[in-house]
Amino acid sequence: MKALLLVAHGSRRKQSNDEVILLTDKLRNNCSQQYHIVHAAFLELAEVLIPDGIKQCVDEGASSIIVLPYFLNSGRHVVEDIPNILNGCTALYPEINISLAPHLGASSLMMDLLIASSETAKAL
């Protein structure tokens, strides 16, 4: 079974974390053909943390897990912190294939998203 784990930074502001959870619910409904399991996890400041998110996917029967960083830039969190945490997880679950997607700013669809978003601007 294929799992998708959306990983956000996590915020002290509960509303920001709730937005990530709601987005993940929407994502689950939109990619049920590609992924049997879809969860959210956070790098810090919010639960569940990444190792617990990976465990949740494994417990539900995932044989492969794609980790999707919900980050715009390729900063330290994306380049070092998340891979380091995931390397710890691959050591715990050597039978599970864990893959890491690029940060969102690298997506070829980002241009379309930015232009579409600009067209929904409202006057101050």
Residues in contact with a copy of itself by CB under 8 A are: 4, 6, 8, 11, 13, 15-16, 19-20, 23, 26-27, 30-31, 34-35, 66-68, 70-76, 83, 86-87, 90, 97-102, 104-124
Taking the C-alpha atoms of residue 24 and residue 5, their distance in angstroms, rounded to an integer, is 9
Smallest distance, a copy of itself to C-beta of residue 82, A: 10
Q: List the end-to-end C-alpha distance of the chain, in Å, as a whole number.
A: 47
Output 59 or 122, the one with its CB closest to a copy of itself: 122
Q: Of 56, 68, 43, whose CA–CA distance to 93 is shortest? A: 56
> Is the CB of 48 or the CB of 101 nearer to a copy of itself?
101
Q: Whose Cβ is closer to a copy of itself: residue 60's or residue 112's? A: 112
Q: Which two tokens stand for residue 100?
A: 């890491």
- Do 104 and 72 touch, CB atoms closer than 8 A? yes
Task: Give bridge partners of residue 107 from the DSSP assignment.
Answer: none
Give the 3-state secondary structure of residue 77.
Answer: helix
Shortest distance, position 28 Cβ to a copy of itself, whole Å: 11
CB of 41 to a copy of itself, least distance (A): 14
Quote the CA–CA distance of 52 and 114 in Å, as a whole number.
Answer: 33
Q: How far is the CB of 31 from a copy of itself (least distance, A)?
A: 5
